[in-house]
């Protein structure tokens, strides 16, 4: 197949249409069966679909990497499958079996292999979706469900890749409330963040940090990434209370840091505590590890180090994580998942 029409050196985190997508459908009370690969293109949907009326939808985000070993790997894809299953339970949708999920992701990557960037230039972002596609007028689960995947080559999520980002703590808006859907990747969690995020960007910040909705005191997340900070040699990250998305990158970083001998504490992290830390970063599939240069709350801004140089542990964790993903270092955790046929 011909080379993809992409300038690998100027990739950003943006949408490029690729060749193929995957679609499977099921009725509410029927088991899932494997779907099919179709040419990438628009889909048609009922105006009364549950997802576009009531937000009955989930998404996932994962990446396929071309590695140092000359093959293509996914990173812990079974964790994305399980997170989507937990989300499906929460939104009353039929969970997609892990085997169907992984097989679908592999097929999509295989069929779009020419769009996977060379090692070090980016990754193929894989976006699985599960939604209530059947028509329903009352607020209730839709009668039919669609599981769909598309892929797109991406570069860094934040401009400048490993350069430090400046963040603003949101003092008026919250991402998620106790008992809500913050702990799953529900599509409805994201639109309410667009206005605060746009406003923060217009004021010169890269993103907002959300505080908890009950006491307005504790750091929850950074837009679409989890938060970490280092203080007195201990790495802290907000504990999973149900309002924070259990990031797969977050979990990997906790394991990597502990393996390096660091103490990692998962507990409530007060904004003031985070602002008194020595290093801070956020992490996610899209964001990878993004060092934080400064945090602003009201009229107070604190800068980590000189505000432009990533912290030592931040860099160490970035290298450890990406060296496993790129198969530069040995994968002692069993995290990389080779894509059959691209080995």
Residues lying near ligand COI in the complex (CB under 6 A): 61, 224, 284-286
Sole window of 18-26, 99-107, 124-132, 244-252 interacting with ligand PLP (rule: CB under 6 A): 244-252
Contact segment (CB under 6 A) with ligand PLP among 41-49, 116-124, 155-163, 245-253 equals 245-253
Q: What is the DSSP string of 190-257?
A: TGGGHHHHHHHHHTT-SEEEEEPTTTS-BEEEETTEEEEEEETTEEEEE---SSS---HHHHHHHHHH
Closest distance to ligand COI from the beta carbon of 225 (Å)? 7
DSSP 14: S
Which residue out of 25, 63, 185, 231 is catalytically annotated?
A: 185
| Distance from C-alpha of 326 to C-alpha of 188, rounded to nearest angstrom | 33
CA angle (112 as vertex; 191, 160 as ends), nearest 5: 55
Q: Which of 226, 233, 312, 304 is nearest to 269 (CA)?
A: 226
Cβ(154)–Cβ(11) under 8 Å?
yes
Q: Is the CB of 246 or the CB of 338 nearer to ligand PLP?
A: 246
Whether 43 contacts 52, CB under 8 Å: no
- Fill in the DSSP letter of residue 335: -
User: By C-beta, is 200 or 275 nearer to ligand COI?
Assistant: 200
Closest by CA position to 176, among listed 199, 196, 192:
192
Query: Does position 256 bind ligand PLP by CB under 6 A?
Result: no
Q: Does 61 bind ligand PLP (CB under 6 A)?
A: yes
Q: Which is nearer to ligand PLP, 141 or 246 (CB)?
A: 246
Closest CA to 342 of 107, 79, 103: 107
Is residue 185 flagged as an active site residue?
yes
112: partner contacted, choices ligand COI, ligand PLP, none (Cβ within 5-8 A by kind): none
CA angle 176, 188, 293 (to 5 degrees): 55
> Among 87, 134, 238, 284, which residue interacts with ligand PLP (rule: CB under 6 A)?
284
Residue with the closest Cβ to ligand COI? 61
Residue (61 or 188) nearer to ligand COI, CB: 61
We find the least distance from the C-beta atom of residue 145 to ligand PLP, in angstroms, to be: 21
State in angstroms the smallest separation of the CB of 88 from ligand COI.
Answer: 17
Binding residues (CB under 6 A) for ligand PLP: these are 61, 221, 224-226, 245, 247-250, 284-285
Residues designated as active site: 185
């Amino acid at each position: 197949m011909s080379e993809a029409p992409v300038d690998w050196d100027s990739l950003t985190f943006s949408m490029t249409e690729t060749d193929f997508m995957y679609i499977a459908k099921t009725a509410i009370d029927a088991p899932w069966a494997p779907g099919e690969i179709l040419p990438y293109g628009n889909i048609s949907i009922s105006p009364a679909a549950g997802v576009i009326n009531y937000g009955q939808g989930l998404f996932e985000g994962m990446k396929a990497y071309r590695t140092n070993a000359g093959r293509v790997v996914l990173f812990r894809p079974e964790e994305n499958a399980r997170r989507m299953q937990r989300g499906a339970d929460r939104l009353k949708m039929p969970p997609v079996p892990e085997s169907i999920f992984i097989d679908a992701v592999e097929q999509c990557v295989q069929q779009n292999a020419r769009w996977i960037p060379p090692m070090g230039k980016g990754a193929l972002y894989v976006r699985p979706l599960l939604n209530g596609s059947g028509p329903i007028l009352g607020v209730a689960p839709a009668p039919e469900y669609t599981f769909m995947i598309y892929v797109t080559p991406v570069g860094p999520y934040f401009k400048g890749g490993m350069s430090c980002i400046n963040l603003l703590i949101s003092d008026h808006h919250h991402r998620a409330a106790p008992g809500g859907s913050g702990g799953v990747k529900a599509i409805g969690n994201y639109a309410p963040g667009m206005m605060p995020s746009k406003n923060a960007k217009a004021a010169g910040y890269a993103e907002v940090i959300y505080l908890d909705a009950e006491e307005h005191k504790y750091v929850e997340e950074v837009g679409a990434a989890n938060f970490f900070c280092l203080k007195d040699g201990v790495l802290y990250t907000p504990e999973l209370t149900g309002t924070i998305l259990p990031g797969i990158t977050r979990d990997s970083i906790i394991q990597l840091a502990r393996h390096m001998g660091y103490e990692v504490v998962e507990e409530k992290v007060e904004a003031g505590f985070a602002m008194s830390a020595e290093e801070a970063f956020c992490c996610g599939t899209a964001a990878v590890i993004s060092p934080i240069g400064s945090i602003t709350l009201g009229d107070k801004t604190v800068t980590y180090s000189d505000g432009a140089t990533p912290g030592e542990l931040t860099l160490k964790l970035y290298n450890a994580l990406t060296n496993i993903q790129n198969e530069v270092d040995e994968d002692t955790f069993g995290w990389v998942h080779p894509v059959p046929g691209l080995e």
